[in-house]
Chain A
Amino acid sequence: MTDAIRIRSLTYRTGREFALRGLDLTVPSGSVYGFLGPNGSGKTTTIKSLMGMLPPDDGTIDLLGHRVPDDVVPALARVGYVPERLHLYPALSVDETMRYHAAFYPRWDAREGDRLKRAFALRGDALVGRLSKGEAGKLMLLLALAVRPELLVLDEPTDGLDPVVRRDVLSAIVDYVAASKATVFISSHLVHEQERICDWVGLLDDGRMVAELPMSEFRAGVKRLRVRGASAPAGAGESAGAGLGAGAGAGAGAGAGATIATLPFRVLARRTLIGSDEEWVVRDWRPDMRGAFAALLPGSTLREVEDLDLEDSFVELLSAARARGQITTDGREAA
């Protein structure tokens, strides 16, 4: 099964700024892929490039097997797209818009369109320019769903919507996935929503992919540890976080013996708690590491392993990635 979306080394520049730097992204067919990242990280730029609207400066994009932007048109016929802002013609009515849209998509399902129109309580004669934010969002989703796409590309579909409309939108998306086995690519910063419906997660920061893996692995692998007596000195390498000093270089510090760098899990952050207790946030954790902890770090004890929710994991990963950027790249401004 080919991937629905395959992006390799995508680079995009606006003026002198790099909006995307060598981005690698893979969306497996049939997955619900949550594209997370802070504002300004390049999510919308990625989506616009994916849809063939922005020509890449470097790298390749394959959408449903078609090379973008050269061969994007046949792929677009199988994609349902909801952009960040209302893109429809304000002078047309809801019915006129549906009729217009239908003419471009051979797979348009008129009955489904009408069913969604009723479900979303949209009036056919209402002008698009007069719709409320929620109604406009619902109409855009209606159009995307009624073309029976193989892939849904949604850019912040629930941003700025009230909770009732948000539920309607999410239910409609989930319902479509259940019925059609379509692939969904949702970009959002509403992490808790993503946590419910996505089975893959891709975290973007500053134009680069920080992490991309199945949601269950992500949740299982990112943990908060309570460590007592951690005598491991402030080694460098993968560690980052408060108290580890800006002086740490890219290699192991003097006398550290690269202890932290050789651990099977990655330490994202270390914080001192009361006494000799420390809080570590780690990724790539596996349950068997609990038993082996004492052997890995002699002198220290693992008191507790706690789960982090997606939002906290997301924040920790981002902080670590940014701090790493600060440490490993000289001369460049921090992200």
Chain B
Amino acid sequence: MFVAMLRAQWVWTRAIMLFFLAAGFALPVLSVPMSARFGIGWISANGYVEVGGMIGLLVAITVCLAAVALVVQNWSVDDRGRHVYALSLPIARRRYLLYRLGGGFLLLGMLAVAVWLGGAVAAGLLELPESLHAYPASLALRALMAAWLVHAIGFLVRFGAGQRARGVVFGALILLFLFVLLPAETLPAPLTWLSLASRALVLPGGPFGILVSPWSFIDV
């Protein structure tokens, strides 16, 4: 049953997935032309780290958007039919939801692999100074964990309640996260009200730590 559900999910999701897979692969590779603009030897270690941070942020946003997009799309496909089809099938509701969640996780896993591949390619092409290294695997793993976390939360909210209010709250949370918390934590920035607010909202060491600790692709 899981395979059948995954196969069906792929049919209505492949357009979105192909877009995100391309983005996930391309973003780390972008670090090559981005750093090349500064010229070899001219760019300082800080410059590379900045590029790495930018890439990391973009990957984070992309991956979280993908996680959200999958939740929304999965929900809307069933919602359009008022869930009649899903409810009439001989499968327990809990199992059905678990399979849907698992399907989303698998697809996001594919995305993480794309990020890792892009990172590996970029790592091969970049000419980094002695002190710096590229971390494709680390970036990909962080992307995977973050995506799964966002997907699970979104899933719980969307499929758990089915109320419009929840959807709005969910949307607001995501926007807040993408445009306030992430940039504040990822980009090396002076102590601004943004970073203060984010620190107040999120515990660095806790479950959300993976999302807000530095996403830098290039580091020491």
Residues of A within 8 A of B (CB): 51-53, 73-77, 79, 81, 83, 85-92, 96, 99-100, 102-105
Name which residue of chain B comes closest to A83, CB basis: B84
Separation of A77 and B92 alpha carbons in the complex (Å): 11
- Give 9 closest A-B pairs by Cβ, nearest first: A103-B4, A77-B90, A76-B90, A87-B84, A91-B12, A87-B85, A87-B81, A53-B87, A104-B89
Chain A residues within an 8 Å CB radius of B87? 51-53
Could you say which of A52, A73, A86, A105 has the most chain B C-beta atoms within 10 Å of its C-beta? Answer: A73
- How many positions in chain B have a CB within 8 Å of any CB in the partner chain? 20
The reply to whether A53 and B88 form a contact with Cβ atoms under 8 Å apart is yes
Name which residue of chain B comes closest to A72, CB basis: B90
The reply to whether A99 and B4 form a contact with Cβ atoms under 8 Å apart is yes
Tell whether B202 is near chain A: CB-to-CB under 8 Å. Answer: no
Chain B residues within an 8 Å CB radius of A87? 81-82, 84-85, 88
Known: A53-B84, A88-B85, A91-B77. A96 touches B90 (CB 8 A): no
Known: A53-B84, A100-B4, A103-B4. A92 touches B11 (CB 8 A): yes
Tell whether B7 is near chain A: CB-to-CB under 8 Å. Answer: yes
Number of A-B contacts (CB under 8 A): 60
Known: A51-B87, A89-B77. A73 touches B92 (CB 8 A): yes
The reply to whether A104 and B81 form a contact with Cβ atoms under 8 Å apart is no
The reply to whether A76 and B12 form a contact with Cβ atoms under 8 Å apart is no
Q: Is the interface of B mostly helix, strand, loop or mixed?
A: helix
Chain B residues within an 8 Å CB radius of A92? 8, 11-12
Residues of B within 8 A of A (CB): 1, 3-5, 7-8, 11-12, 77, 80-82, 84-85, 87-92
Task: Supply 22 A–B pairs (Cβ within 8 Å), ascending by A.
Answer: A53-B84, A53-B88, A73-B91, A73-B92, A74-B90, A76-B89, A83-B88, A87-B84, A88-B81, A88-B85, A89-B8, A89-B77, A96-B8, A96-B11, A99-B4, A99-B7, A100-B4, A100-B5, A103-B1, A104-B1, A104-B89, A104-B90
Closest Cβ of chain B to A81, distance in Å, is 5
Additional pairs, 19, CB under 8 Å, beyond known A52-B87, A75-B90, A100-B7: A51-B87, A51-B88, A53-B84, A73-B90, A73-B92, A76-B89, A77-B90, A79-B90, A85-B84, A87-B85, A89-B8, A89-B12, A91-B11, A100-B5, A103-B1, A103-B5, A104-B4, A104-B89, A105-B90
Name which residue of chain B comes closest to A48, CB basis: B84
Separation of A77 and B11 alpha carbons in the complex (Å): 25
Could you say which of A52, A79, A83, A100 has the most chain B C-beta atoms within 10 Å of its C-beta? Answer: A100
Name which residue of chain B comes closest to A84, CB basis: B84
Known: A89-B81, A103-B1, A104-B1. A76 touches B8 (CB 8 A): no
Chain A residues within an 8 Å CB radius of B4? 99-100, 102-104
Separation of A103 and B89 alpha carbons in the complex (Å): 10
Name which residue of chain B comes closest to A86, CB basis: B81
Chain A residues within an 8 Å CB radius of B7? 96, 99-100
